[in-house]
Structure 1
């Protein structure tokens, strides 16, 4: 899916900075702060827009935005907000803090958080995470989920930001691990705030069981899947990160699930023997036995053919449709013939 067109820029202006006057909401998304934060800065530090339109409507010019970018960069480097505002207001208009389309300046150094071609909301979320601005991160996540829905917000805003933070952290040791932890925690909290729909008319319907393989600590993608299934009123049993193998097998036998989703982030955690054990569990009378559909999710399972009696999930949206079809008995429980790239949530 192509990203929405970006605001035009003036020739010679730094890439990524809008050349037109923007509303407070648009500037907030551009910078990765909440509109309330911008209003607070204007009230406390007099760092507001140069002009208003239609009475009280604020319109931020490129010069206004340059001052705010400088303030954001200084606060990300640990400068108190009052001092950062004074420095931004005293900066020469012709020499604002340079902004890059690649992303914001990382704390402790000039390395950018490279995002590529993404939605403006994604850049704003990344900037807020880099500044460790927890209130703005929470507000931006809630806004994205409310405006775009869980699936679109996950695929086009949340996941690209998580990937960019993860790549930066992996390439820089543990210098930026605090950014990844803060963003992950708030994504998890935002997903958990999504209220499930009322239960389906048949409360005895078998549930969908979601779990990470043993030793796998990365559970955000299946947390998003659990919330998406809940929105559809499908029964879910969520076991989260690093579920021991025997506990998983016991849970499958006790619940008789319609499907089991096993998440593996890396090849080191993927457990083919466990997958075979789950796929081999059966119940019921001989000749009419049932078994769970085994759905392997995450890049850890590799790009080869899936396990026997297993299916590969390769995206939140498509994975949700596969599970919904299984729950409605619209697809065979073996899932044969629907293999795909193992990139779900990765």
Structure 2
């Protein structure tokens, strides 16, 4: 009887060409690590620390070994290792230095004390700790675009700034550079926001820090938010001398004056009373500005006449927008400055 020819079994597709079932998307990995998807793409572009498996025309898929390399890179950069060196170590090109080996959980001893916050805060804090200014700028732009200025300030930017401050206060002179870099990038992000064109002949809101006060980011956020709403604002920034503030109020007849004081040491109740008392216009038709005291430096006591406290960006915007429409104080030469009616 003739024998049947042996059948050759079908060739199996090598497993290495098939994406593992447990592979995760970039967004899922970013949430797992507490960084932004933008950061992962930046690391892949700059340091080639991307997923080992790529399939043409499809999204990136990250396997468990890929994620382990990213976790190591996060630990190293959080401990102060430059990103390029951390990427080489994570990829197996070099051995991590002793300084960067310690933590076995994401974050490490240099991580900021954030607590329960949005994932964007963790990505922003990691970038700030490793002094990665381009990534900090990207994350800030992404947060502002996705959440809007007010929510981004309340839920992403301010919590990260507070964490930097707590870390700096508990670590002696360390991390001051992190605070300065993050503050500069936040300020730059606010300055890139283009305000809506001002309505003609509308009195502005003056914003300034009291003399001696250098912390201006909260009122920079307020100035940017007012600009987005079309409310004219004049921002004078940190440590405005008292006489210059008085002159600015008299010259502009503002709708309101916002004075920021970060600490009790800089808050000056006498200055607040003098600003609230400034008036202008013809005799018998004098006008005043509303004085709004902002910041934790002011005492919680009852405010003086024509004075109100602001307790946050969102509520502060509501207070300013609720002010009665100002009226003009006119003189012999024609229309003079507009003022908030007393």
Same fold per TM (> 0.5)?
yes
Aligned to 1:266: 263
Question: Is residue 87 from structure 1 mapped to residue 89 from structure 2 by the alignment?
Answer: yes
Aligned to 2:6: none
Match for 1:275 among 269, 272, 275?
272
Task: Give the C-alpha shift of residue 53 in structure 1.
Answer: 7.3
Aligned to 2:105: 99
Instruction: Tell me the TM-score normalized by structure 2.
Output: 0.80
Alignment of 1:11-160 (within 5 A): 22-25=24-27, 27-28=29-30, 30-32=33-35, 35=38, 38-39=40-41, 41-42=43-44, 46-51=48-53, 55-79=57-81, 81-90=83-92, 98-100=104-106, 104-105=107-108, 110-160=109-159
Structure 2 distance, partners of 1:99, 1:229, is 42
Match for 1:310 among 286, 307, 312?
307
Deviations 1:208-261 (A, max 9, x none): 000000000000000010010011111111100000011101111111111000
Question: Is residue 229 from structure 1 mapped to residue 209 from structure 2 by the alignment?
Answer: no
Aligned to 1:215: 212
Matched residue SS, 1:153: helix
Comparing 306-315 with 243-252, greater Cα deviation is found at 306-315
Comparing 306-315 with 40-49, greater Cα deviation is found at 40-49
Aligned to 1:285: 282
Describe the shift of the 1:310–1:45 C-alpha distance in structure 2 as closer, same or farther (beyond 3 A).
closer
Larger Rg: 2
Alignment of 1:136-215 (within 5 A): 136-200=135-199, 203-215=200-212
Structure 1 distance, partners of 2:229, 2:253, is 20
Deviations 1:313-333 (A, max 9, x none): 01101101111111646xx96
The alignment yields a C-alpha RMSD, in angstroms, of 2.8
Structure 1 distance, partners of 2:112, 2:276, is 41
Task: Give the C-alpha shift of residue 32 in structure 1.
Answer: 3.7
Structure 2 distance, partners of 1:266, 1:82, is 40
Instruction: Could you tell me which runs of 5 or more consecutive residues in structure 1 were left unpaired when the two chains were aligned.
Output: 1-19, 336-346
Matched residue SS, 2:237: coil
Task: Give the C-alpha shift of residue 23 in structure 1.
Answer: 2.9
Describe the shift of the 1:183–1:302 C-alpha distance in structure 2 as closer, same or farther (beyond 3 A).
same
Aligned to 1:13: none
> Is the 1:122–1:158 contact (alpha carbons within 8 Å) kept by the matching residues of 2?
yes
Structure 2 distance, partners of 1:256, 1:296, is 18
Aligned to 2:19: none
Comparing 69-78 with 241-250, greater Cα deviation is found at 69-78
Instruction: Tell me the TM-score normalized by structure 1.
Output: 0.79
Task: Give the C-alpha shift of residue 73 in structure 1.
Answer: 2.8
Instruction: Could you tell me which runs of 5 or more consecutive residues in structure 2 were left unpaired when the two chains were aligned.
Output: 1-21, 95-100, 327-338
Aligned to 2:13: none
Matched residue SS, 2:254: coil
> Is the 1:70–1:97 contact (alpha carbons within 8 Å) kept by the matching residues of 2?
no
Structure 2 distance, partners of 1:246, 1:254, is 12
Matched residue SS, 1:211: strand
Deviations 1:115-164 (A, max 9, x none): 11111111110111011110000000001111111011001100000001
Task: Give the C-alpha shift of residue 28 in structure 1.
Answer: 4.7
Aligned to 2:241: 244
Structure 2 distance, partners of 1:53, 1:273, is 68
Aligned to 2:4: none
Describe the shift of the 1:225–1:81 C-alpha distance in structure 2 as closer, same or farther (beyond 3 A).
closer
Comparing 44-53 with 126-135, greater Cα deviation is found at 44-53
Task: Give the C-alpha shift of residue 86 in structure 1.
Answer: 3.8
Deviations 1:99-125 (A, max 9, x none): 35xxx33xxxx2531111111111110
